[in-house]
Amino acid sequence: MRNPILVALDVPTLPEALRLVEELRDVVGGFKVGLELCTSVGVPQVVDALSAVAGRSGTGGSLFVDLKLKDIPNTVAGAARGLVRPGVAMFNVHADGGTAMMRAAAEAVQAAMASAPAGMPRPLVLGVTVLTSIDAATLRGELQVAADPLDQVTHLARLAQAAGLDGVVCSAHEVAAIRATCGSDFITVVPGIRPEWADAGDQRRVLTPADALRSGADYLVIGRPITRPPTSVGAPIDATRRILDEIQAAGEARVV
């Protein structure tokens, strides 16, 4: 994917999501769908409807289904099998669910590919490390994890790689450490992306799009700065083009 932007469709209804896909499908690399939309509409309906519209511009099959699965290994394996369907490019599980759970998800996907439609790419399975809304004080004070966020993220990334996952979801601040720990082929999907002109909201560990790519991130998940941009910026497509311009100005030529 030359264009690394995945727009987070954090909206409650399918018509709202479809309008964003229609507007943005020609200027982004794909779309992320999460709990809000999938629980209100249903995963199969969301995937089929959005990938059909996105696919008209070649981004079909570029949906990141962000459900952050976490349960006993058998239950997660069953859910993973259900996500092996046309339109799903990647989905995620919580890395702190443990090695057995992550391995069950990866193996379930591999087995399900035997009956997948011909030519359908295998969905990538990613491990969620530490949520970008969690800082060091929350990690230690509330969750009682002694490690600082960077150490915890790299530890979970190693577990995810050992379990057979394709990559992780992490803050852009942690990409370099993950690259050093897991190698350049291990995929990093980075939320918490905020242009300088956007409000950080409830994200704590944020970085600009250009800086995130410069750190080595593979995919950037961008939500509210695009879907609900400041009035001074304009419509979602105006915000997207502004981000692309800023990335290109910073020398990231791989963005089209």
**Does the pLDDT value for residue 205 go beyond 60?**
no
Would you call 218 exposed, middle or buried from its count of C-beta atoms within 10 A (0-12, 13-18, 19+)?
A: middle
Q: In total, how many domains does the chain have?
A: 1
Please indicate, yes or no, if residue 255 is contained in any of the structural domains: no
68 is catalytic: yes
The CATH number of whichever domain residue 243 belongs to comes to 3.20.20.70
Q: Exactly one of 21, 54, 63, 68 is catalytic; which is it?
A: 68
Residue 95 resides in a domain: yes
pLDDT at 255 over 50: no
Per-residue pLDDT of 6-41, as tens digits, reads: 999 989 999 999 999 999 999 999 999 999 999 999
Rounded average pLDDT over 187-207: 76
Q: Mean pLDDT over residues 44-66, rounded?
A: 86
Domain, as residue range, for 75:
5-249
Looking at the domain assignment, is residue 84 inside a domain?
A: yes
Decide if pLDDT at 201 tops 80: no
For residue range 152-171, what is the model confidence (pLDDT) as tens digits?
999 999 999 999 999 999 98
In a domain, residue 23? The reply is yes
Degrees (nearest 5) of the Cα angle 82, 129, 93?
10
**256: in domain:** no
Domain assignment present for residue 188? The answer is yes
pTM: 0.91
Do the domain assignments include residue 104? yes
**pLDDT value of residue 2:** 73
Q: Which residues of 119-129 are buried (b: 16+ CB within 10 A; e: fewer)?
A: eeeebbbbbbb
250 pLDDT tier (thresholds 50, 70, 90): confident
What is d(CA 246, CA 195) in angstroms, rounded to the nearest whole number? 9
Q: What is the pLDDT of residues 58-92, one digit of tens each?
A: 666 689 999 999 999 999 999 999 999 999 999 99
Decide if 13 is inside a domain. Answer: yes
Per-residue confidence at 116, pLDDT binned at 50, 70, 90? very high
Is the pLDDT reported for residue 234 higher than 70?
Answer: yes
pLDDT at 1 > cutoff 60: no
> pLDDT at position 223, please?
93
Q: What is each CA distance from 248 to 3, 10, 26, 122, in whole angstroms? A: 11, 26, 17, 30
